[in-house]
Structure 1
Amino acid sequence: MTGETREKIYENEHDAVNDFIERKEAMGRSRRTLNAYSRTLKSFFHEEFPDLAPQDVEVRHIEDYVGALAARDLSQNTKRRYLESLSSFFGWAMKRPRFENITGNPAAVVLEEIPQKYRERPDCATWESAKKIIHNIAEPRNKAIAVILAKTGCRIREALEIEHDDLMLDEGFIRLRERKGGSQTVVPVDNEVEHAIKRYQLIRPDDDSNYLFLSVRGNRVNTTQVQRAVRDAAVKAGVMDEGETRFHRKFTPHTFRTVFTTLMRNQGMKDHILQHIRGDANNRTMDVYTRVDRNDARQEYLECIKSLDL
């Protein structure tokens, strides 16, 4: 799925659904969240149950939908995400008097029966493995991206969305503007991140694009290119075997996030600062009441982060 497709908002034949999407957009939900809502609701009402109105949806319909998802061999967590979108809609609609015919949340009933599965940390998710991989990435652009992933714990999409205006390297910060849930976070970085970015800027294509990381054609780098670079470096470094597909044995760009989190916790970083740097969406409410001073965060970050020996 391309970045443009991930941000598309789908129209629905039911006014209640369109109203739900519009209200969520007005409340500041990100385009990607709105895409997930609208795409799932379109799939449910247009494809699976084209003759079913929202007020007529029952638990059995949701169960049938889960069966259809299971037939596509989707993971349990993926099925949960689909149901979470449906549950968000019904939970919202049943609290609005104008939708008085929607009196329950059948998706929430089924959602309770599908527990979320948590994967164990990959065996190779160590700081030493991360160092070996980064040392085996020769290309400056991909190396800079990997350094950012390892030293901020950000998601790959967040790193690839960095623009020139987001760099505050003289102050020791980078702004991550496309965090999960649509928020922005200014996160601390150290000298190794600064040097990796500046080294890449020396060979960056001369292009007017605002994005920092560009392909040879001047477009924003896509995730596949970075995934391939990390995989090849992991194999070359002996961290994983060629063709490895088992979760606990492979190293991906997202594994850097696990490595960073483990390192920071082991080094004693305060939870609210770690959550702030990671951009954890489920801790947004706490952040309203726990203000994180960026200079305090940077001081603690520098005390906890380790060197990649670049």
Structure 2
Amino acid sequence: MSNTSTQQSSTQDHVEYFLDDIRYQGKSPRTQAAYERVLRDFETYLSSRDLSLSGANHRDCMAYIHQLRGEVASSTVATYASYLHRFYDYMTRVDVFDNNPMAIVVEELDESINTDPTRRDISVTAMRSFLESATHPLDRAVLMMLLKTGIRAGELCNLDTRDVFLAESPIESTHRPRLDGRPDSLYIDSAPANGTVYNGERRSASNKRKRATTIPVDDELQAVLTEWLAARPDPVSDADPLFVSTSDDWGKRLSPAMVHHLIETHAREYGWYREGGGPEENVTPHYFRHFFTTHLRDRTGDRGVVKYLRGDVAKDVIDTYTHDWGNRVREEYRDNIYSLL
């Protein structure tokens, strides 16, 4: 171990050292929190056996992974193992640790991360009932926005009022020029990125789509957004964010962590979320993107329209649907979007 690394790690615990580094690398707060949760749990496990992160060997790591089996989903076991492997691999490469005891564990692991899990099969009727359980204007607006548009949590958080053009709005706002002639529409830009300044405000989330997308706003989403805007606290930011906190961070832009907490709370109360459950079981913001894709695709029979709305990159999709937005995308969406109210 180098002297510099020894000095750094002696004044800061290993987990904090690693978390600081991945924060500087631009990892999202949600990713940082996920790593911290797993690493602290592993650290607690080792501590109960009078061991430390720097002193653990491959058998200690194997024992930890083994005790997870039966408590969490198979894919979650693999995820925990991958987080520990990345932690040890990085700490070894920067000379804080001498070796990576997780390397052999990962090589021999039976479980694997399921990148395309079979998710809950939730009907429109069941989702409608779930939405009825959310009575707060902010909660209803967030849930409806995700369900009706298929956008990501980070994309929702980055929305400013200029990105929404409602023919009838309870607030005075100026929509962006790209929405001219497209009333009752939503614009998702591709530019916002975590840590960069966009529309005068430093963002904490990234819009992951490669191309900007215009999405129709149907009557139900318009009604819920109108209700929210009438009750929305004055935003703290001059960027005029569409969704802001109504709790401790009053008036501040929602963060992905807030959106995840909001949805997890409702899903847990409804029996759609279990601690330790994997994506096959738990309803999260990303599940709503899956719900949107599945149900709208089944109704339209047109994968191209759904790909365009999701922001999936394909030259034929972009060329076809961007230039025929008014006639094809809007009509297909309006004719087929499911009713949730």
TM-score normalised by L of structure 2: 0.57
Question: In the superposition, relative to structure 1, how do residues 33 and 212 fare at CA in structure 2: closer, same or farther (>3 Å)?
Answer: same
Question: In the superposition, relative to structure 1, how do residues 265 and 35 fare at CA in structure 2: closer, same or farther (>3 Å)?
Answer: same
The equivalent residue for 1:184 is 207
Whole-angstrom distance in 2 between the partners of 1:161 and 1:75: 29
Please state if 1:143 is matched with 2:140: yes
Q: CA deviation at 1:191?
A: 2.5
Question: In the superposition, relative to structure 1, how do residues 145 and 297 fare at CA in structure 2: closer, same or farther (>3 Å)?
Answer: farther
SS in 1 for 2:303: coil
Please state if 1:164 is matched with 2:160: yes
Pairing partner for 1:268 from 264, 280, 302: 302
Whole-angstrom distance in 1 between the partners of 2:163 and 2:189: 7
Per-residue CA shift, 1:160-210, capped at 9, x if unaligned? 73553573434231469699x953245532122445323421233456475
Quick check: 2:308–2:317 contact (8 Å CA) kept in 1? no
Whole-angstrom distance in 2 between the partners of 1:270 and 1:129: 27
Quick check: 2:193–2:207 contact (8 Å CA) kept in 1? yes
Q: CA deviation at 1:64?
A: 1.1
The amino acid that maps onto 2:231 is I
Quick check: 1:28–1:182 contact (8 Å CA) kept in 2? no
Quick check: 2:150–2:288 contact (8 Å CA) kept in 1? yes
Whole-angstrom distance in 2 between the partners of 1:249 and 1:19: 33
Whole-angstrom distance in 2 between the partners of 1:103 and 1:250: 32
The equivalent residue for 1:63 is 62
Could you list the runs of 5+ residues in structure 2 that have no partner in the other structure?
1-10, 166-174, 180-185, 195-203
The equivalent residue for 2:13 is 13
The equivalent residue for 2:35 is 37
Quick check: 1:150–1:259 contact (8 Å CA) kept in 2? yes
Question: In the superposition, relative to structure 1, how do residues 115 and 201 fare at CA in structure 2: closer, same or farther (>3 Å)?
Answer: same
Q: CA deviation at 1:51?
A: 3.6
Q: CA deviation at 1:87?
A: 1.3
Please state if 1:257 is matched with 2:283: no
Identical pairs, percent:
19
Q: CA deviation at 1:245?
A: 8.0
Pairing partner for 2:111 from 111, 114, 139: 114
Whole-angstrom distance in 2 between the partners of 1:153 and 1:86: 32
Deviates more, 1:185-194 or 1:216-225: 216-225
Whole-angstrom distance in 1 between the partners of 2:216 and 2:272: 33
SS in 2 for 1:202: helix
The amino acid that maps onto 1:78 is T
Quick check: 2:141–2:225 contact (8 Å CA) kept in 1? yes
Whole-angstrom distance in 2 between the partners of 1:90 and 1:269: 42
Per-residue CA shift, 1:61-104, capped at 9, x if unaligned? 11111234348x3333333222121111233345x374683266
Per-residue CA shift, 1:223-266, capped at 9, x if unaligned? 6665676899xxxxxxxxx8688999998866533321213444
Whole-angstrom distance in 2 between the partners of 1:272 and 1:113: 35
Whole-angstrom distance in 1 between the partners of 2:281 and 2:16: 43
SS in 2 for 1:189: strand
Could you list the runs of 5+ residues in structure 1 that have no partner in the other structure?
1-10, 233-241, 279-286
Whole-angstrom distance in 2 between the partners of 1:106 and 1:297: 52
Instruction: Report the RMSD for the aligned CA atoms in angstroms.
Output: 4.9
Whole-angstrom distance in 1 between the partners of 2:27 and 2:267: 31
The equivalent residue for 1:198 is 226
TM-score normalised by L of structure 1: 0.61
Quick check: 1:130–1:150 contact (8 Å CA) kept in 2? no
Quick check: 2:161–2:242 contact (8 Å CA) kept in 1? no
The equivalent residue for 1:102 is 99
Q: CA deviation at 1:31?
A: 1.9
Whole-angstrom distance in 1 between the partners of 2:42 and 2:111: 18
